[in-house]
Amino acid sequence: MREDVAQGAEPRSPRGAATLPRLVAFDLDDTLAPSKSPLTPRMTSILVRLLDVCEVCVISGGSYEQFRRQLLARLPEGPDLRRLHLMPTCGTRYLRWVGGTWTLQYAEDLSDEEKRAAVDAIEEEARRLGLWEPDTRGPAIEDRGSQITFSALGQDAPIDAKAAWDPGGEKKALLRSAIQGRLPGLEVRSGGSTSIDVTRVGVDKAYGMARLAELTGIGYADMLFVGDRLDPDGNDYPVRRLGVPTRAVHGWEETADVVEDLLAQAVTDVA
């Protein structure tokens, strides 16, 4: 049975949503939106409503440019963006809305040597396992500064092709394990439907959430993290291990239901 709420959070609605936290954090791909796709109008509206009542963080393996296309370009004028926290590349970067612009607060970039080792290990192991595609839609390997990301079919591959590539996750699990064996000083995690993320050991989504708690003064117990990869090999799992209450979802539609429950609870709490 899937664990809907972790770390002892008490269900307060039929879908298992908890009392409104001070901060709600989300993964992006396959949580707030389909892979590499913009937020739907329904999700955009729900997110704007959530910003009215609490702090919101988006923490994902995607780059800031991906955040801009999928999330920021969909937001209307009006919401208080000072309540929105952006953590691209698994929390190895952090941006805040300061003086009318998104301003970088920190970046834990990999060294050139670490990047070369990661790129070499990814390509060599993917080829050895027969998982290297000769023709991809967009780059297969991306240098995101603080993270190296492998996308088996390319960043711009169609959603249906990505979903069909490894529906059970066996290919990614095999490749992740092989790459990790080559990179003992780095962290290798499964990301989206066809992607694998490489960061420094300990500089992952748990690191990002810990920094967020430190910088905002909001404790873990007052947060909720919503993501689709909370399994032990997934890049959301470090947040669960950190002790932040979590909610596992499968797709943006389920996330929308979770947030609707939180918003309903906010009304109940005020009443």
Residue 12 falls inside a structural domain: no
Query: 154-179 burial string, b = 16+ CB within 10 Å, else e?
Result: bbebeeeebeebbeeeebbeebbebb
8 assigned to some structural domain: no
Indicate whether 16 belongs to any domain: no
Show which of 153, 179, 200 is a domain's final residue: 200
Q: What is the predicted pLDDT for the residue at 59? A: 97
Same domain, 101 and 207: yes
Among residues 191, 203, 173, which one has the least CA distance to residue 227?
191
The CATH number of residue 136's host domain is: 3.30.1240.20
* Mean pLDDT for the stretch of residues 71-76: 95
**Residue 14 is assigned to a structural domain of this protein:** no
Q: Give all strands (DSSP E) within 113-245, no chain letters.
A: 141-143, 148-151, 186-190, 195-200, 223-227
Residue 266 and residue 186 share a domain: no
Shared-domain flag, residues 214 and 177: no
User: The domain containing residue 94 runs over which residues?
Assistant: 23-108+203-270
Render pLDDT for 83-103 as a digit per residue (tens, 0 to 9): 999 999 989 999 999 999 999
End residue of a domain, out of 200, 222, 247: 200
pLDDT band at 11 (very low <50, low <70, confident <90, very high): very low
Averaged over 234-252, what is the pLDDT?
A: 94
Tracing tokens 């009443």 back to the chain, one arrives at 271
Structural element, H or E, at residue 46: helix 41-51
**Average pLDDT estimate for 72-93:** 92
Single residue among 178, 200, 222 that ends a domain in this structure: 200
Q: Please tell me the distance from the alpha carbon of residue 216 to that of residue 165, in angstroms, as a whole number.
A: 40
- pLDDT tens-digit readout, 20-54: 899 999 999 999 999 889 999 999 999 999 999 99
Residue of 59, 32, 182, 34 whose CA lies nearest to 117: 182
> Which residue, 188, 265, 268, is CA-closest to 15?
265
**162, 96: one domain:** no
